[in-house]
Structure 1
């Protein structure tokens, strides 16, 4: 139970912090809207760099648990600094130097899974616990803040960090790494193929980020419904994502990952196209089933795909994590379509459908199995490719 517990705690840690961070900056540190924007941008930039450097160090060391342990300790330090200071510059420095590296813990967990020989289905099922944390975390954080004030969320974050340190320490004592022979360097991978997959996932993440961001405006301006329907729709999609991930975990051993991912993209195309013309709340909620399947494949199968085509577990997890960050940046022009066309915010969904079609075609044309390298003989690298060969 160490791995599921660790996934849950890492998910909760930042499901508490990230949604509440802007409120903390405004209420505790008296930051203006502009200062909040800059603080969050600097924090996210620090997280982007850390999610590349820390996993790279773990790859070189061949140890992902000790850096995870350090991430838990850094989270405790971040909560402590934010609790004792009211100076905004100090808070921003703490977010970059402590919060950026601390946020890599979840990526290191999945790198550790790959390093210890976990099957793709195990990785996907573990990802479901992170999704559950993000369903439960923001409402819990809101309750804590409403009942005890904004600083109280720092105590909750520290408590979860203590649990993270405890489970990671226990994981370190229990770890058993399967001997995989000499490490395979990622330079032996076709870089163009890796870049193509990264770009595709940035595009897929951008469509999700843009449509989630405009959901409230779409519901009120386009559908003429109360804003609460946006929260209900997003909540339904998030809740359905968990059983979708569990189902994907069961299907992974029977159906290849690329096929599952293509099915998710097809569901995404239908979802976005239908949302562009939807008119009532019933269809709005019903379509969230397609949305959940789409994002579950992007989140679950996408992670295992990166681990398949990139032989370094830390680098694979770090790159995948950063597709989410870069996708959020790329979502900006998509959101701008809401004010530039007659469709209004429906144009955001229509454009997302077009982008997902292009991503689906690119994925269909991309070979995912790495070519054999010296020392591997005729064995094709990658868990999904090996599974396909075995079943054939």
Structure 2
């Protein structure tokens, strides 16, 4: 809800830095409240009421980039920086907890929130200085390249396709460590190594696919990433050892680069409102994580056991690619 309401307000005001600043403040408040509460119900309420809106900050950043006329490659490169944070964050958090205790992580979250607030205030001040100097052009005059709005039917189809693609990606990440230990009978560390290799490869994959957006269509790049995902899931379904498990991870990284990088810019191209488009894309990930549950349940009920989960992922990805193909034809026929 917050990922749609906040962006809708920002679109109406043509201001994305203000809500981004509010998200930073809410994150700081959340850390303080979690440090004070002593029961799980109160912590849950705090996470719901404060943490939900606070988590929209990254959406506001992507929307601000689009509103400022950033190229798709610039947006994808920013997404690559976020991936670096995802790689560095969990080990750093584990180190802090192990060294200073559980509640010390709240101090770290608060410190990051202060840095976010400071950075956003600098951006706001720079924007005001640009406007005072006449260097800031109105949003309507900001050149946005590759703008290709599609009809409502196309948006609905592509949104549905991305829910499926995000669901399979989330399924693979969620079940991999369990699959490594229970089906492949390997040490749990191999699950961590596989996920770590994929995460490390995400950054160069995002940078590369960001550059390719200058030469190839977003839909075409997403199709290549989806095909890589199909190959990855089929490979996981028949993998027998750690070497093949690690060898498959470049396919996983390229799959994520298309869905997590180009997918974001595709939504921003489809919907001229930067806030709404980014919020809608972010919600495909959230809904996809919900759909991942049934995929795991249905896939594990097959005769193949947990291997059937990845076969189910491959089938669902094929369906997602098919829906994108239909959406592409629908869009072409309306032009």
Query: If the length of structure 1 is used for normalisation, what is the TM-score?
Result: 0.78
- In the alignment, the residues of structure 2 paired with residue 339 and residue 279 of structure 1 have an alpha-carbon distance, to the nearest angstrom, of 18
The runs of at least 4 aligned residues of structure 1 exceeding 4 Å deviation read: 368-371
Are 1:155 and 2:107 counterparts? yes
What corresponds to 1:360 in structure 2?
Answer: 321
8 Å contact 2:28–2:110 — kept in the other structure?
yes
Q: CA-to-partner distance for each residue in 1:92-141, whole Å, 9 max, x for gaps?
A: 22212211111000000000001000000000000001111000101111
8 Å contact 2:68–2:139 — kept in the other structure?
no
What corresponds to 2:138 in structure 1?
Answer: 179
Q: CA-to-partner distance for each residue in 1:147-169, whole Å, 9 max, x for gaps?
A: 11111000000000000001111
Give 1:87 shift: 3.0
What corresponds to 2:47 in structure 1?
Answer: 95
- In the alignment, the residues of structure 2 paired with residue 264 and residue 346 of structure 1 have an alpha-carbon distance, to the nearest angstrom, of 22
Distance 1:181 1:170, change over 3 A: same
Are 1:274 and 2:226 counterparts? no
Aligned-pair Cα RMSD in Å? 2.0
- In the alignment, the residues of structure 2 paired with residue 361 and residue 320 of structure 1 have an alpha-carbon distance, to the nearest angstrom, of 19
Give 1:85 shift: 1.9
8 Å contact 1:121–1:252 — kept in the other structure?
yes
Map 1:214-363 onto structure 2 (within 5 A): 214-363=175-324
Are 1:75 and 2:45 counterparts? no
Map 1:38-57 onto structure 2 (within 5 A): 49-57=1-9
Partner of residue 106 from structure 1, selected from 58, 62, 74: 58
Q: CA-to-partner distance for each residue in 1:35-69, whole Å, 9 max, x for gaps?
A: xxxxxxxxxxxxxx111111111011110001100
User: Tell me, which stretches of 5 or more residues in structure 2 are unaligned?
Assistant: 131-135, 143-148
Are 1:200 and 2:143 counterparts? no
8 Å contact 2:300–2:309 — kept in the other structure?
no
Secondary structure, aligned partner of 1:128: helix
Query: If the length of structure 2 is used for normalisation, what is the TM-score?
Result: 0.91
Q: CA-to-partner distance for each residue in 1:10-40, whole Å, 9 max, x for gaps?
A: xxxxxxxxxxxxxxxxxxxxxxxxxxxxxxx
Partner of residue 140 from structure 1, selected from 67, 89, 92: 92
Counting matched residue pairs gives 321
Secondary structure, aligned partner of 1:366: helix
- In the alignment, the residues of structure 2 paired with residue 255 and residue 222 of structure 1 have an alpha-carbon distance, to the nearest angstrom, of 40
What corresponds to 1:15 in structure 2?
Answer: none
What corresponds to 1:84 in structure 2?
Answer: 36
Secondary structure, aligned partner of 1:225: coil
Secondary structure, aligned partner of 1:273: helix
Higher relative contact order (CA 8 A, sep 6+): 2
- In the alignment, the residues of structure 2 paired with residue 262 and residue 338 of structure 1 have an alpha-carbon distance, to the nearest angstrom, of 24
Report which stretch shifted further, 190-199 or 157-166. 190-199
Give 1:370 shift: 7.2
Report which stretch shifted further, 356-365 or 299-308. 356-365
Give 1:338 shift: 4.7
Are 1:118 and 2:70 counterparts? yes
Secondary structure, aligned partner of 1:254: coil
Give 1:365 shift: 2.9
